[in-house]
Structure 1
Amino acid sequence: MSSFRTRLTLILIAMIGLAVLAAGLFMGKTYRDNHLEALQDNMVREMRIILDEMDWKQGSPDELYDYYTNEAKHLKDITDTRITFIRSDGVVLGDSDHDPRTMDNHSTRKEVLEAKQDGIGRTTRYSDTIKQNLLYVAMKVKPDDPNSDIIRLALSLEKADESVKRIWVALLLGLVVLFALAALISYRVARGLTRPLEQITKVSKRIKNLDYRARVAVKSNDEIGELGQAINAMAEGLQVQMTRIHQNEQQLASVLDNMINGVVMIDAGGKIVLLNRMAEEVLGFSARELVGQHYASAKQQYELSQIIQEALERREHLRDEVTFYFPEERLLDLNLVPIFEDNEHNGEFGGVLLVLQDVTAIRRLERMRSEFVANVSHELKTPVTAVKGFAETLLGGAVDDPELARSFLQIIYDESDRLNRLIGDILELSKIESRRVPLQFSPIELSPFVYKTIELMSAEAVRKQIRVTARVEPGLYVEADEDRLRQIVMNLLANGIAYTSEGGSVSITVEPVHDPNLSFDDEGQENYEHIRIHISDTGMGIPKKDLPRIFERFYRVDKARSRSSGGTGLGLSIVKHLVELHKGTITVESRVGIGSTFTIELPVLQ
């Protein structure tokens, strides 16, 4: 609409401009013509006065050149015009501005020809003699004589042209002012004509863009006002309807986006028409990529396409479990439900609703539970079986042999102690995993902490002749639960001592994790946000294939040696959970026959 207003304004401006320009051209030409006419009349009067006062002599040109030239120059000083005296045959007898002897014959000059015919001749021409535009007026000396001599006056048009230029400057200034006024008036006129239509157009576009609150400001009762009222009524009705639709859509979208299951709706032709957020995550594709595309364009495995095709063909509920490998490995429970328009199987078939449930964690937990029960049962069964067997032996008569009875009772005691440790570790791990272990965080100076922990483990190390060393930078602190941190370090030291042969060594190193981007404190010490604890041994090492699983419950690399060392298989699992409760990480590096290094990284502040 603004372009229409612009066109209308430009048309009005052009019309007014053309009218003013035409008037200006006409006025300029009229002024110039009138000015030249007045100059010509004035020059005719001057020539008549000259002829009346002047003595016109006859004779040969050589006799007359000086006379007429002097007369011409004298008269030029009086009239300020160029004066030329021409004989009837065109020979120039005298001229005020040039030597007549060198001048051409003037018998063919336009003004001379007109003067001989009509008595007076007039023309405007560029003079090659004095290099100017001149107005020439010629007149017979004797009006009644066809062969009369000619007197001619020539006036420079420079002043006349200057006057015309001033007229044109005034006209141009007037045109500019008129154009400005015309533009303003035209714009206001066009605005008054187009503004209501422009407003209606804007409101219509807003309604088209789903802005149903737009209204036309109706200021008149004419046809345009009625049109505005009709558009307002339409917009109000659409607003009510669309508000209801949007509420329903938002409720549905909120439900779909917050579902823990993926939902994909596929029409009868196999095109995907709906995809919720969880389905995007499970399938590894965005709704923008898949909505409107055929389900086969989702480059998932063959089983998914097959079950969707089967559901579209059979039009009945199907269920299956499929392992997906993209974008990550998942086990999905697929439910495909047919959609009918009247919710009955005899209605028109609308497609299939695919519900994707990620059951990876559920199946893993079920497997872990089964493995845990099996492992616990196995671990409990071993000491219970030993206690029961040796008790039965004692009851069978071995109690009468004091030495044998004492040996069997020691075995029963050891197995009972092992059973007690196993149950204690199981209960401890259960509490840790269920987050029922409250941590009491406090600042711990690591140097005395490490040496005290080594002292607690020294008896076992001395018994196996294992050297335990420590290297801790002084002044290191960490915020942690002291008892749980000691439990972590003691478990790892105990493992190192247990799996290191006599004469070996176990070392513990504590260092800050330096960050080059961190600043220095007021005392010049470098700030650090983490500390790192390395616990290394020279033991038997762990095979590479077993490294990913050593933190699992009851997982043992060397089952026979683990049992002989009194381990329960839960120590490293407890350590890993306690480190994670401190928001830290634990990793391990090991080479068979060389030893292992456990690395713990903990944040300084909790």
Structure 2
Amino acid sequence: MSHFIKKITTGGNKFSGIFLAALKVALAIALFPIALITFHYVTSEESWVYYIVICLIIICSAMYIILPFMSDYSKLAGYVKHLSFDRIVKPPKLESSIAVIELSESLDLLKKSWEKKQREVLEKIAEIKLLFSSIPEVMFIINESLIISKVNNAAEQVFGSNLIGMSLREITDNKILLGAVRWVLHDQVSKRVELYLGAPIERDYQVLIEVYDSKENGEKNLIIMMHDVSELKRTEKMLADFIANASHEVRTPLTGIIGIIETLDIDGWDDKEARKLFIPMIREQAYCMKNLIDDLLSLSSIERRLNTPPTEIVDIAQVVDLVVKQLEWEAMQSKIAVIRNIDEHLPSILGDFNELSQVVFNLLANALKYSGHDKEIKIDIGVTDVVPRNGVFTQENSKAIFISIADQGNGIAGEHLPRLTERFYRIEPSRSKKLGGTGLGLAIVKQILLRHRGFLNIESTVGKGSIFTVYLPILSDRYE
């Protein structure tokens, strides 16, 4: 029994609070009749001193009951006030009444539920901010006064940092964009436009502008989304140029063949001398067309596989040996000595044997064509960790195999070097066609090396010759 009384009076739980509240009320009730009896007695004896004592007893009994309630309600009021200011506080300890205690517990449950919902909302806000910041398109949110309130990372990369609070007019004076913004604000409907920004970086954009009502201030806000289409437009232009160039390149030998046939029709196919003169010309033009179509098909095939890295294990020394044998006759005809210097400890790499053979073939064939007679071509093959600054290797792939082909030709002027790998680009078109070139050889080399994550470096001095160096990455664990 004593253990139960101790538990409910000192447990600090709801039962202890109920017990103490009931005890206070019982004491007050017990004091009240005593006070009445005493009051009756003292009034009959006409003792005002006792009368005052009895009044004090009644007042004290009332305060004994009321003051704890007032204290608990004051604690609850303070607790609710703290919650309203998002402060983290413990619920107060209340012991005056079961109703007050239950109210306190309900408030505590409400607080926990509110904190859970607050965490969920904050997580959603963080996710939305992260999503907004990581969107690759340039995005702004502006108000009716064109003041920027939010931007993402892409916008800061294009227009700079500290954009929030600036006016849209401060970061661009593009009339198309500003006119579209005014139009959307006036008509309250979305709009799409295309525009070109010349600064800070020359780019083409497709822009979508949406309007919505801001719940913060009741104003109209605009979301401006700018999708970069520069690469798409560049590709479209390249495709148009490629089709135009390819059509021209195909038309040229076709025109020659048609002209020869028409000439034979006039003079007669029975003329032996005419056939002897013109048939080799037809054959030459036909082979030009065949070579061009072969190169076009090869280029198309390589570009389709551009994002698929090769997986064969290739011995570069074998590639070079094979190509040198294939072009041995051409070298002998031009009296050109091909000298090879190959590192004995050359590692194998991941690659495509046929494609890498085509790279070496195109480069060596060009060197033979443009070197002239009685010259030397040096082929050096080895491993290096000194890669030109325009290299694409990461720290993991810091070592590379290099294949350097140096000729003793006339050399190439510096203004032509950046464009040598463009399709159909020729320094001397007439000479190139005379030598059987299609204008696609170095373009094919470039695409093959892109697929192999390698690159081509070109150095040339007019009057001395050129050096074409291929760099192919090798993993560090493949080389010791």
TM-score (norm 1): 0.56
Q: Give the corresponding residue for 1:482.
A: 353
Q: 1:227 to 1:440 in 2, by over 3 A?
A: closer
Question: In the alignment, is the contact (CA less than 8 A) between 2:192 and 2:206 conserved in 1?
Answer: no
CA distance in 2, matches of 1:536, 1:202: 85
Question: In the alignment, is the contact (CA less than 8 A) between 1:215 and 1:232 conserved in 2?
Answer: no
Q: Give the corresponding residue for 1:506.
A: 377
Question: In the alignment, is the contact (CA less than 8 A) between 2:141 and 2:222 conserved in 1?
Answer: yes
Question: In the alignment, is the contact (CA less than 8 A) between 1:215 and 1:235 conserved in 2?
Answer: no
Q: Give the corresponding residue for 1:331.
A: 204
Greater mean alpha carbon deviation, residues 309-318 or residues 382-391: 309-318
* Partner of residue 337 from structure 2, selected from 467, 485, 505: 467
Q: Give the corresponding residue for 1:319.
A: 193
Is 1:208 the counterpart of 2:77? The answer is: no
Is 1:271 the counterpart of 2:147? The answer is: yes
Q: Give the corresponding residue for 2:463.
A: 593
Q: Which amino acid aligns with 2:360?
A: V
* Partner of residue 357 from structure 1, selected from 218, 222, 227: 227
Is 1:235 the counterpart of 2:84? The answer is: no
Q: 1:445 to 1:312 in 2, by over 3 A?
A: closer
CA distance in 2, matches of 1:301, 1:407: 67
Q: Give the corresponding residue for 1:417.
A: 287
CA distance in 1, matches of 2:425, 2:316: 34
Question: In the alignment, is the contact (CA less than 8 A) between 2:209 and 2:223 conserved in 1?
Answer: yes
Structure 1 residue 362 displacement after superposition: 0.9
Q: Give the corresponding residue for 1:40.
A: none
Q: Which amino acid aligns with 2:325?
A: E
Q: 1:293 to 1:234 in 2, by over 3 A?
A: farther
Q: 1:318 to 1:457 in 2, by over 3 A?
A: closer
Deviations 1:186-226 (A, max 9, x none): xxxxxxx9xx98xx8899489737xxxx6735543359968
Deviations 1:120-142 (A, max 9, x none): xxxxxxxxxxxxxxxxxxxxxxx
CA distance in 2, matches of 1:476, 1:555: 34
CA distance in 2, matches of 1:584, 1:461: 28
* Partner of residue 220 from structure 1, selected from 87, 94, 108: 94
1:181-196 alignment to 2 at 5 Å?
A: none
Q: 1:276 to 1:399 in 2, by over 3 A?
A: same
Question: In the alignment, is the contact (CA less than 8 A) between 2:194 and 2:204 conserved in 1?
Answer: no
Structure 1 residue 510 displacement after superposition: 1.4
* Partner of residue 493 from structure 1, selected from 340, 348, 364: 364
Q: 1:202 to 1:583 in 2, by over 3 A?
A: farther
Q: 1:237 to 1:539 in 2, by over 3 A?
A: same
1:557-572 alignment to 2 at 5 Å?
A: 557-572=427-442
* DSSP-derived class of the 1:509 partner: strand
* DSSP-derived class of the 2:364 partner: helix
Q: Which amino acid aligns with 2:195?
A: E
Relative contact order higher in (CA < 8 Å, ≥ 6 apart): 2
* DSSP-derived class of the 1:399 partner: coil
Q: 1:302 to 1:438 in 2, by over 3 A?
A: closer
Deviations 1:90-126 (A, max 9, x none): xxxxxxxxxxxxxxxxxxxxxxxxxxxxxxxxxxxxx
Q: Which amino acid aligns with 2:156?
A: E
Question: In the alignment, is the contact (CA less than 8 A) between 1:218 and 1:225 conserved in 2?
Answer: no
Q: 1:461 to 1:281 in 2, by over 3 A?
A: same
- The count of residues paired between Structure 1 and Structure 2 equals 385
Structure 1 residue 246 displacement after superposition: 4.5
Structure 1 residue 580 displacement after superposition: 2.3
Greater mean alpha carbon deviation, residues 317-326 or residues 261-270: 317-326
- RMSD (CA atoms): 3.7
Structure 2 residues without counterparts, runs of 5 or longer: 1-70, 387-397
1:523-542 alignment to 2 at 5 Å?
A: 529-542=399-412
Q: Which amino acid aligns with 1:265?
A: I
* DSSP-derived class of the 2:469 partner: strand
Q: Give the corresponding residue for 1:391.
A: 261
Question: In the alignment, is the contact (CA less than 8 A) between 1:554 and 1:570 conserved in 2?
Answer: yes
* DSSP-derived class of the 2:456 partner: strand
Q: Which amino acid aligns with 1:566?
A: G
CA distance in 1, matches of 2:453, 2:214: 53
Structure 1 residue 400 displacement after superposition: 2.3
Structure 1 residue 556 displacement after superposition: 1.3
* DSSP-derived class of the 1:588 partner: strand
Structure 1 residue 302 displacement after superposition: 5.4
CA distance in 2, matches of 1:232, 1:333: 53
Q: 1:204 to 1:414 in 2, by over 3 A?
A: farther
Q: Give the corresponding residue for 1:91.
A: none
Structure 1 residue 542 displacement after superposition: 2.0
Q: 1:473 to 1:405 in 2, by over 3 A?
A: same
Q: Which amino acid aligns with 1:322?
A: Y
Q: 1:438 to 1:282 in 2, by over 3 A?
A: closer
CA distance in 2, matches of 1:318, 1:603: 44
Question: In the alignment, is the contact (CA less than 8 A) between 1:583 and 1:602 conserved in 2?
Answer: yes
* DSSP-derived class of the 2:298 partner: helix
Q: 1:431 to 1:226 in 2, by over 3 A?
A: same
CA distance in 1, matches of 2:454, 2:244: 30
Structure 1 residue 378 displacement after superposition: 0.7
Structure 1 residue 587 displacement after superposition: 0.9
CA distance in 1, matches of 2:80, 2:358: 74
Structure 1 residue 297 displacement after superposition: 5.0
CA distance in 1, matches of 2:417, 2:273: 44
Q: Give the corresponding residue for 2:23.
A: none
Same amino acid, percent of matched pairs: 27
Is 1:256 the counterpart of 2:132? The answer is: yes
Deviations 1:238-286 (A, max 9, x none): 346546645764664465345443221101132212223433333343x
* DSSP-derived class of the 2:438 partner: coil
Q: 1:349 to 1:218 in 2, by over 3 A?
A: closer
* Bigger radius of gyration among the two: 1
CA distance in 1, matches of 2:424, 2:440: 6
* DSSP-derived class of the 1:322 partner: strand
Structure 1 residues without counterparts, runs of 5 or longer: 1-192, 343-347, 516-527
Q: Give the corresponding residue for 1:295.
A: 168
CA distance in 2, matches of 1:365, 1:256: 28
Structure 1 residue 495 displacement after superposition: 0.7
Q: Give the corresponding residue for 2:64.
A: none
CA distance in 1, matches of 2:292, 2:163: 53
* Partner of residue 420 from structure 2, selected from 550, 575, 579: 550
TM-score (norm 2): 0.69
Q: Give the corresponding residue for 2:22.
A: none
Question: In the alignment, is the contact (CA less than 8 A) between 2:423 and 2:443 conserved in 1?
Answer: yes
Question: In the alignment, is the contact (CA less than 8 A) between 1:268 and 1:312 conserved in 2?
Answer: no
